[in-house]
Structure 1
Amino acid sequence: MPKLVGKEVGPIGFGLMGLTWRAKPQPAEKSIEAMKTALSLGANAWNGGEFYGTPEYNSLHLLNQYFTKYPEDADKVVLSIKGGAKPGQVAPDGSRENVRRSIDECLKLLDGKKSLDLFECARVDPNTRIEDTISYIAEYVKEGKLGGISLSEVSAKSIRRAHKVHPISAVEVEISLWATEPLENGIATTCAELGIPVIAYSPLGRGLLTGHWKTLDDLPEDSPLRGWPRFTPESFPENVKLVEQVEKIAQKKGVTPAQIAVGWVLAQSRNNGFGDLIPIPGATTPERIKENMQAAQLDSDDLAALGKILQNFTPVGGRYPDFIAHLSHA
């Protein structure tokens, strides 16, 4: 079993973003039901964000509600929270003042109901040395207010620089059938060398790899993805071709495309020596969580078929809009 900050976690985790990062989040009781389902199925590595939602209602508020209702679950969950952005802005600020503000706010919202196992700045601040930012977070580890430090959307070089200042407990990057860069650019191999687990966010390609979206009209009306580079009217028809190919393999195995997608991420760890890769698919209903937790078991023929598909497929459009894309893998 993989470990985070010395605690065993399931091979598949749970992302909280979809529960609060919408124009109209679903009722809290529905989200709490989804969270309880995830934990009951062994997904005890939970990933949230200070900015997943609004200052008035984000994933920290929801976590407080959950652990108020289920205090006995607090020690069962390994919680990782992203923060470090300028308040109200999509811009990183790794200064000591802002890092302390962000961690203090997270701890305040958790209100002692749950410890903060991991904290990570969502992006590397180009105006603050990563060594300095890590040293500021490390102050909280030394004070016993934080279990460990993780990184998000960083390059292999940044991982090494950060790890020299304080041991890094996890690195979170996007990995899926349409986001394979960390497996090719040294991020995964660097983490394996240093013994750092990789948290693979968006293993379902932001929902595309579920196979539920055939056209742009299928996206929820309030989806923040509308207008993102891979979801424009020009790029979406090309990108959905990947799903069509994955669906053929899923049909032969009697599973869903989502189960193939999660199974593929798990297989990279097992077969390619990348160390622990922990996918954290997000979902808002117990039904989808149950589906995601039943990852397809892929044999060598399946992996070869998927490899051939990827050799002949190049995603159209970047992973993020321009205003944040330049900060990825920094």
Structure 2
Amino acid sequence: MSIKKVNLGSQGLVVPAIGLGCMGMTTISGNNIYGKADEKESIATIHRSLELGGNLLDTADMYGPLLNERLISKAINGNRDKYIIATKFGFEVNAEEQMTGKINGTKNYVKKAVERSLKNLGTDYIDLYYLHRLDTNTPIEETVEAMSELVKEGKVKYIGLSEVSSETIKKAHAIHPITAVQSEYSLFEREIEELAILDTLKELEISLVAYSPIGRGFLSGEIQRPEDFADDDFRKYFPKYTGEQFYKNLDLVKEIKKVALEKNITTVQLALAWIIAKGHLPIPGTKRVKYVEENIASTNISLTEEDLNRLESIIPLGTQTGARYDEAGMKGVNL
């Protein structure tokens, strides 16, 4: 199995057509994400991904906090040069390694955060460094200027943003070339198309990195009832997966599954192949070897224009699938 390579942005970063989201491999503030994780299996997943050509790992300092970066450090030990590491900062983590509940994009915090991530990752450089969420109290120009200095110092190779508006992207790009913008994007979540953010990215030759590309696992079709979510699974509190909306979305999944069955692939692979065919980079999260194999296999699936139109007719732009976070979480999304 091989993975085709793609250009991420226009500054020279070349990556596989699919990445590996590592968030679920550790807890966040003591809470399990998508159920309990096993460190041994998580590391085996990272190693198997590399064997198949999937060497792009996506993490963030808030995952844990800090535990996720330390897990990746263990996994890549002795093989740093074989991996492309993307991490994020912005959710403020204090000296006691606790989340403060604030977003911090000040110059001083940027420098503090990168040094901590470098230490936790066991490396002297980060391939792609993202601002995780916009600090609305700090001009984006200040944050990006500080990130630009990290590039000049050799601590960071490329920079990115996450969940920001076209206006913010343009302001940031004017200070230093932005390589990638992360946003939630899937057949279930296409708001950035409605807001013309994809048009802005295309104009500036910035790539979209799509997180939660399989609807936080819901597009797998394995979740059939709200009770299928474990008690500690944070998805059960999201508007997309509660109440009447749960069943409306389940009906949409059933229609997508019909297309997947015709092609003799899984709904997960179909959802990922759709994003790749649209010219974007999905970073599905998993902590299990069998799923990373399934995900990577999606890079070899070709979809026609007719296939894309059929899928998008099942969930047309504007379809209400529910908010992606609870009210508090949506406050950090600045589209």
Question: Do both share a fold (TM > 0.5)?
Answer: yes
**Of 293, 309, 313, which residue of structure 2 is paired with 1:308?**
313
**Of 299, 305, 322, which residue of structure 1 is paired with 2:304?**
299
Query: Aligned Cα RMSD in Å?
Result: 1.8
In the alignment, structure 1 segments of 5+ residues that lack a partner are 270-276
**Of 324, 327, 332, which residue of structure 2 is paired with 1:327?**
332
Query: How far has the Cα of 1:47 moved from its partner?
Result: 0.7
Whether 1:81 aligns to 2:87 is: yes
2:64 is matched by which residue type in structure 1?
A: G
**Of 143, 150, 159, which residue of structure 2 is paired with 1:133?**
143
Asked whether the equivalents of residues 152 and 172 of structure 1 are also in contact (C-alpha less than 8 Å), the reply is: yes
Secondary structure of the residue aligned to 1:293 is: helix
* Residues 57-107 of structure 1: per-residue CA shift (max 9 Å, x gap): x21111111122xx13x2222111011112213431111222222112101
Whether 1:110 aligns to 2:116 is: no
In the alignment, structure 2 segments of 5+ residues that lack a partner are 94-98
Other-structure match for 1:157 = 167
Distance in 1 of aligned mates of 2:318 and 2:168 = 29
Distance in 1 of aligned mates of 2:45 and 2:131 = 26
Distance in 2 of aligned mates of 1:297 and 1:146 = 34
**Of 144, 149, 166, which residue of structure 1 is paired with 2:176?**
166
Distance in 2 of aligned mates of 1:243 and 1:96 = 44
Query: How far has the Cα of 1:312 moved from its partner?
Result: 8.3
Distance in 1 of aligned mates of 2:294 and 2:121 = 29
Whether 1:175 aligns to 2:179 is: no
Query: How far has the Cα of 1:202 moved from its partner?
Result: 0.8
Distance in 2 of aligned mates of 1:224 and 1:40 = 31
* Residues 18-68 of structure 1: per-residue CA shift (max 9 Å, x gap): 11146355232211100011122222221101111234xx21111111122
Q: What is the TM-score normalised by the length of structure 1? A: 0.91
Distance in 2 of aligned mates of 1:177 and 1:316 = 10
Asked whether the equivalents of residues 239 and 315 of structure 1 are also in contact (C-alpha less than 8 Å), the reply is: no
Secondary structure of the residue aligned to 1:284 is: coil
Whether 1:223 aligns to 2:233 is: yes
Distance in 2 of aligned mates of 1:93 and 1:313 = 33
Distance in 2 of aligned mates of 1:66 and 1:214 = 34
Distance in 2 of aligned mates of 1:282 and 1:327 = 21
1:77 is matched by which residue type in structure 2?
A: Y
Distance in 1 of aligned mates of 2:218 and 2:320 = 12
Moved more, 244-253 or 91-100: 91-100
Query: How far has the Cα of 1:297 moved from its partner?
Result: 2.4
Distance in 2 of aligned mates of 1:303 and 1:121 = 31
Structure 1 segments (4+ residues) deviating >4 Å? none
Query: How far has the Cα of 1:326 moved from its partner?
Result: 2.6
Secondary structure of the residue aligned to 1:311 is: coil
Whether 1:101 aligns to 2:105 is: no
Moved more, 318-327 or 4-13: 4-13
Asked whether the equivalents of residues 86 and 129 of structure 2 are also in contact (C-alpha less than 8 Å), the reply is: yes
Mapping of 1:284-295 within 5 angstroms? 284-295=287-298
Asked whether the equivalents of residues 7 and 78 of structure 1 are also in contact (C-alpha less than 8 Å), the reply is: no
Moved more, 288-297 or 124-133: 288-297
Asked whether the equivalents of residues 90 and 324 of structure 1 are also in contact (C-alpha less than 8 Å), the reply is: no
Distance in 2 of aligned mates of 1:149 and 1:90 = 24
Distance in 2 of aligned mates of 1:316 and 1:194 = 30
Q: What is the TM-score normalised by the length of structure 2? A: 0.89
Whether 1:29 aligns to 2:61 is: no
1:322 is matched by which residue type in structure 2?
A: E
Mapping of 1:196-235 within 5 angstroms? 196-235=206-245
Moved more, 93-102 or 294-303: 294-303
Secondary structure of the residue aligned to 1:149 is: strand
Q: How has the CA–CA distance of structure 1 residues 116 and 299 changed in structure 2, closer, same or farther, with 3 Å as cutoff?
A: same
Tell me how many residue pairs correspond in the alignment.
Answer: 317
Other-structure match for 1:92 = 103
Secondary structure of the residue aligned to 2:315 is: helix
1:287 is matched by which residue type in structure 2?
A: K
Mapping of 1:257-268 within 5 angstroms? 257-268=267-278
Other-structure match for 1:65 = 74
Whether 1:6 aligns to 2:12 is: yes
Q: Percent identity?
A: 34
